[in-house]
Amino acid sequence: MTTLDLFAPASPDAPERLGPGAFLLRGFALPCADVLLAAIAGIEAQAPFRHMVTPGGFTMSVALTNCGALGWTSDRRGYRYAPTDPDSGRPWPAMPEVFSRLARDAAAAAGFDAFAPDACLINRYLPGARLSLHQDRDERDLGAPVVSVSLGMTATFLWGGSSRAARALRLPLLHGDVVVWGGADRLRFHGVLPLADAPHPALGAQRINFTFRKAG
């Protein structure tokens, strides 16, 4: 298999438009899923998954880690990006080439050329874990898109509006699906409903989601 084959979309389906600057790319990450999972295992060995605490004192149900020049962190002092892992004091693991290549290709497929992410937040959901409606607004460069990749168990993605009260569309995200949003949709509220206990053949009772951002 060539490098180009590795990153070719799994199906000829056109991107599903979710808004003027938002697209769902069904199965886009499937050709490189095994390579992505191997890379995640290497990242976890250096920076293990952990449940962070929110500024309000709540422990997140989703476990997370990071790779790239910057990593997203949360504690009682607030949300922020930092170049080092607060648990180890060492830099976050470097972003694997398979990650950055997938992020660039998915962004380009959605119309965002020259995307160069410097942060990748990796979330691990177990049954019952959820993510409440929120905006991704801790990044300095809000002109760059967010690229979100799903592996493992199916999740119900909430795609909301410009306010938390706006009605949210419910979208099933399957193994290998990629969502890209930017431009007019960059600050749309989004989240994930509690994960149902429906194990995936390859990953079992978990979902891995990782999102690429231009944070610095």
Give the whole-angstrom CA distance, residue 72 versus residue 137. Answer: 11
Q: Which two tokens stand for residue 159?
A: 């795609």
Considering the chain, what is the average pLDDT of its residues?
A: 93
How far, in whole angstroms, is CA 70 from its chain's centroid?
14
pLDDT at 45 over 60: yes
Give the whole-angstrom CA distance, residue 85 versus residue 96. Answer: 17
Domain ranges for the chain: 15-213
First to last CA, the chain: 35
Query: Tens digit of pLDDT for each residue in 107-159?
Result: 999 999 999 999 999 999 999 999 999 999 999 989 999 999 999 999 999 99
Check whether domain 15-213 has CATH 2.60.120.590, yes or no: yes
Contacts of 150 (CB under 8 A, 6+ apart): 29, 173, 174, 175, 176, 177, 178, 179, 207, 208, 209
pTM of the entire predicted model: 0.93
Asked if residue 108 lies in contact with residue 119, where contact means CB atoms within 8 angstroms, the answer is: no
- Degrees, nearest 5: CA angle 163-143-99: 100
Q: Which two tokens stand for residue 48?
A: 């293990």
Report pLDDT for 30.
Answer: 98
